[in-house]
Amino acid sequence: MAATLENKLVVAISSRALFNFEEENRVFEQDKDQAYAQLQLQRLEIPAPPGVAFSLVRKLLAFNSGTEQKVEVVLLSRNDPVSGMRVFRSCKAHGLLSIQRGVFTQGRDPFRYLKPLGAHLFLSANATDVQQALQLGFPAARVLTESAQAQDSNPDEVRIAFDGDAVLFSDEAERVFQAQGLDAFQRHEIEHASLPLPDGPFKPLLAALHRLQQDTQSQMRIRTALVTARSAPAHERAIRTLMDWNIGVDETMFLGGLAKGEFLREFEPDFFFDDQTGHATSAAAHVPAGHVSSGISNL
């Protein structure tokens, strides 16, 4: 019987999102493809240090036990196959032994392989790849490689934080705010409080995490948070939408425009997703963060 990824949480991730290849990437950006490949070959025996999404991946893989594999992480990279050898060796050196699948495209578009993978999440440092993945309907975020590393204070808990509008939910309400201002936004959300918001790009990931969260056999747990600029009375529609989906989150933060960074620092997520560059960049000073180029704010 052929191998299958069905009934698994599938994460596709680029080399730079998983490991810190920033020094090597500077060589690559100087249009020195051969020099980059040669540098990676020279460092074949040197494990790359952890990157921004390393903690998230390591903890998700901890849900796998014995022959039961609930999470699949696949390397999906513009790297060349030779550089791919170093990536796999780095995985082995860091104990990520269950990462065994990878696609290395040597500069060509990698996002087209998300469909056969059935990916629930794509993490990459390449903004174009992320945007294309989102347009194809896959949850995707550009990893901010300057982000702070995740804390190790919650080793048995995967913590993930999401913005609401244009991430978990559609940008319907955000469009009202951008066009007509805060008062109109509040009125719109009060009037539509009982009407669930349309799905946003990251609903499939939240649903997959919710299914994984129901696994009572694992010692690992998942804790999620909705961290949004919404405030009362616009909070109600967001909560009712989650109720309609039959998906709960563990914490909600309705911040009414306050900076999210310090609140996220206290939550200590392994990753945070936001559609607004300013919010994602601010959060990156405290936690691993990714930009979701979705919605009206990114037009």
159-210 pLDDT, tens digit each: 999 999 999 999 999 999 889 988 899 899 999 999 999 999 999 999 999 9
Give the active site residue among 33, 80, 109, 163. 163
CB within 8 Å of 279: residues ≥ 6 apart: 163, 229, 260
pLDDT score recorded for residue 18: 98
Chain centroid to Cα 292, Å, comes to 9
pLDDT score recorded for residue 28: 82
8 A C-beta contact, residue 82 and residue 37: yes
273 phi/psi in degrees, rounded to 5? -120, 130
8 A C-beta contact, residue 274 and residue 283: yes
8 A C-beta contact, residue 162 and residue 168: yes
Residue 149 burial class via C-beta count within 10 angstroms: exposed 0-12, middle 13-18, buried 19 and up: middle
pLDDT score recorded for residue 95: 96
What whole-number distance in Å separates Cα of residue 52 and Cα of residue 271?
Answer: 8
From first to last of its 299 residues, the chain has per-residue pLDDT tens of 578 898 899 999 999 999 999 998 888 888 777 888 899 999 999 999 999 999 999 999 999 987 778 999 999 999 999 899 999 999 999 999 999 999 999 989 999 999 999 999 999 999 999 999 999 999 999 999 999 999 888 999 999 999 999 999 999 999 998 899 888 998 999 999 999 999 999 999 999 999 998 876 788 999 999 999 999 999 999 999 999 999 999 999 999 999 999 999 999 999 999 999 999 999 999 999 999 999 998 97
- Residue 148: closest CA among 266, 53, 263: 53
CB within 8 Å of 171: residues ≥ 6 apart: 165, 200, 275, 294, 295, 296, 297
Q: Which CATH class is domain 157-298?
A: alpha beta
Equal CATH topology for 9-143 and 157-298: yes
What whole-number distance in Å separates Cα of residue 50 and Cα of residue 152?
Answer: 13
pLDDT score recorded for residue 84: 94
Planar angle of CA 197, 167, 134, nearest 5 degrees: 115
Residue spans of the domains in the chain: they are 9-143, 157-298
140-143 and 271-274 beta bridge pairing: unpaired
pLDDT score recorded for residue 1: 58
163 is catalytic: yes
The per-type count for the chain, helices as H runs and strands as E runs, is 13, 10
The reply to whether omega before 233 is within 30° of 0 (cis) is yes
Q: Yes or no: is domain 9-143 CATH 3.30.559.10?
A: no
Q: Tokens representing 2? A: 């052929």
Q: In what order do the strands lie in the sheet with 121-124?
A: 101-104, 71-77, 9-13, 121-124, 140-143, 289-291, 271-274, 157-162, 221-228, 251-254
